[in-house]
Amino acid sequence: MPSHLPPPTGAGRREFRATLLLALAFACVNAPGARAGDGHRLWLRYVPVHGVWRARYRRAATELISQNGAPGTRAAHRLRSRAPSATLRAAQSELLRGLTGLLGRPPRLSPRVTTNGAILIGTPRSSALIRSLPLDLAPTGTQGYLIRTLQVHGHRTIVIAARRDIGVLYGAFAFLRLIQTRRPIEHLDMVSRPKIRHRVLDFWDNLDGTVERGYAGDSLWKWGELPEYLSPRYTDFARACASIGINGVVLDNVNASPVILEPLYLEKVAALAQVLRPYGIRVYLSVPFSEPIALGKLKSADPLDPAVQGWWARKVSEIYRDIPDFGGFLMKANSEGQPGPSDYGRTQAEGANLLARALAPHHGIVMWRTFLYSTSPGAEDRIRQAYDVFKPLDGKFQDNVILQVKNGPLDFQPREPFHPLFGAMPRTNLMLELEITKEYLGHQTSFTYLGPLYQEVLRSDTWAAGPGSTVARIIDGSLYGERETAIAGVANIGSDRNWCGSIFNQANWYVFGRMAWDPTASARAIAQEWVRMTFTNQAAFVRPVVRMMMRSREAAVDYMDPLGLASQMAAGTHFGPGPWVHPGKGFPSEWSSTYYSRADAQGIGFDRTATGSDAVAQYSPHVAAEFASLAHCPTDLLLWFHHLPWNYRMRSGRTLWDSLVSHYDRGVTAVKRMRTTWSRLARYVDPQRYRLTADFLTIQVRDAEWWRDASIAYFRSISHRPLPPGAAPPPEPLKTYEAFCIPYVEGTPGTGPACPPADIPVPR
């Protein structure tokens, strides 16, 4: 697809139809045959349907009715003279593209229903024919859609309708998804609307083209080429996001550069906004709190300073002049050295409200991150700090402020309990921040489907208002009645041809979008959907691959951070094991592995009960009692909340030490089984995508063994306990694992620690 949709014309329909068909023919002739399996087309491959399904779908999708209304009426004449919006043209273009690829021929473009198997799309405003039908579109809201089979002028017609144009586009993708996953379409009656209003991807992309925690190449945004050149990848990206309902993009890193608000860069942002707009995507920007000093040349960024308030109001108005649908700001303040309101003795609420007041006249929002902690020596428990700062501020934020809260209280670990702020601030808008890029889960080479992790946190019951007070109900507004609802995912998208560094990392982008639309959706059902659209509908492939996906996250937890351990990664890179990493000069204790494991000769685990940091008290009484009790604390969070002796008897009957070793072994075994399963599926996958996944699984087996051996070697040196019967000893001495490092890891700022001398063997 070109970067811009064909411009509307007055008489328009015939020219528009010819342009679309010409573009479609060009796309088919120049379809990347050699690249058909490189992953670039994501889940929008639209490969041909065969057999009985092909005949069924062809009968049901013979012609596509234009959105311009039925001819022969005065209203229709007026509508025909008005060109369809860019969003409706995108919906029609996608249906043409999809149905042509799936069914082998494009549907006829018709101004009215003339045959069985018609598809009618539009809104009551764009189509007199849709306006004449007995459709109740109120349940679709402002972003949802209706897909229904009706008799129109005596012919069976599939109607894709919505109150707003963007709903039609979402409905078009949903209809194509039915065909891609081989669902019947003869008798449709679907209504769907997003449960969350703002569904946002956060790009941690720097203006120099690098990506912090990015494992798929350089930045997608080519700032040096903007605004003159708009890469076709931007449109492909927008299509992919719209297909799963994502409607917002933060373009730059939360560790932001003040340059982003200079006129030169705002012109570039406006150009990107123009490409993304037809697909319902708003742009947002991360900005530093000190922007009035860096860019405005003021002496202060104090949120109560009238000069600062005036500067922000003028800058925001400037942005909206060029980007009328600008979404707002994402702010990281007073965290990891970033400036913030605390620098001036002000609260986080006073800082957030400064930006909120500037944005409010333009209907923009502030997404204010709660990832805040002090790196000063002697902090008792890092995970307590965000709650302790923000809880007292409940009810003090402007209505257009949404606090962006990570899924857990630490930092995107393989497993954490849900963040205690969820349910603790009933008078404040809260949104969930998830990480799609796998910063702590093996980067691009690890086969780790994050759907189970997302599902785990969304279904966590906070008990804030009694049973059923799930995180999902808090962020979708149904528990406390918030109007501004949001969810964010840290993007895993880059310049790599396959977008995400690996094929299966695409599934994490996909599941984020689908769960953002419906936080109660099933991770397994979404995995099945993605596999069918991305690979094949053959059950012999779908079933084992979905099983692999659903087990993959638990496998990673087992060989990395079992039983509630956390942050046992190598320093800086977050890749590979480093349970021995301890505080040092210029290296805060809160960044060290030993701070979190608290492993000593007597035992292991962080005591967060009343006898320790008492972080458990930040949860509701029901949840706190469960976590604090050894009898009821979930086994997979045991060492998160409790420091226990090595010989503590687990519910399984094993000692804690034996159970820990067993989990490491189980994780390695699970990854090896995944590799074996994949090796039997080559005939179902094109060679390029099969080989990439096979090679990455081989890497993951090596890494899992590395994690297992290094972790056991370290904790055995601390516990002085023998290995349980049948457990293999690590093949190298502990000093080998401690000395080994990777000096440069993709997506990691700066360089890693000094590497060992060349004569130290590399663990295998």
Phi, psi of 212, rounded to the nearest 5 degrees:
-75, 125
Please say if 399 is a catalytic residue: no
Q: Report residue 711 as tokens.
A: 């972790």
**Which helix (H) or strand (E) element contains residue 266?**
helix 263-276
Dist CA 144 CA 112 (whole Å):
24
d(Cα 491, Cα 599) in Å, to the nearest integer? 34
Beta-carbon-side half-sphere exposure of residue 120 (alpha carbons within 13 Å)? 33
CA dihedral 136, 142, 145, 151 (to 10 degrees): 30
Label the pairing between strands 145-152 and 118-122: unpaired
Separation of alpha carbons 354 and 313, rounded Å = 9
∠ CA 732-733-734, nearest 5°, is 115
Interatomic CA distance for residues 152 and 159, integer angstroms = 9
CA 420-421-427 angle, to 5 degrees, is 145
Catalytic residue among 411, 456, 496, 518: 411
336 included as an active-site residue:
yes
d(CA 243, CA 262): 33
**Max intra-chain CA distance, the chain:** 88
| C-alpha to C-alpha distance for 151 and 614, rounded to whole angstroms | 64
Count CB neighbours of 105 within 10 A.
9
Which positions ≥6 away from 481 have C-beta within 8 Å? Answer: none
Q: Residue 195: how many CA atoms within 13 Å on its side-chain side?
A: 20
Q: Is position 225 annotated as part of the catalytic site?
A: no
Q: For residue 372, give the amino acid letter.
A: L
Q: 128 - beta bridge partners? A: none
Please tell me the distance from the alpha carbon of residue 290 to that of residue 308, in angstroms, as a whole number: 10
Catalytic-labelled residue, pool 63, 165, 439, 705:
439
CA–CA separation, 60 vs 66, rounded Å? 17
CA distance 249 to 139: 26
Q: How far apart are the first and last CA of the chain?
A: 46
List, as one string, the DSSP characters of 344-356: GT--HHHHHHHHH
- C-beta of residue 304 within 8 angstroms of C-beta of residue 346: yes
Catalytic residue among 225, 336, 388, 600: 336
Residues marked active site are found at 336, 411, 439
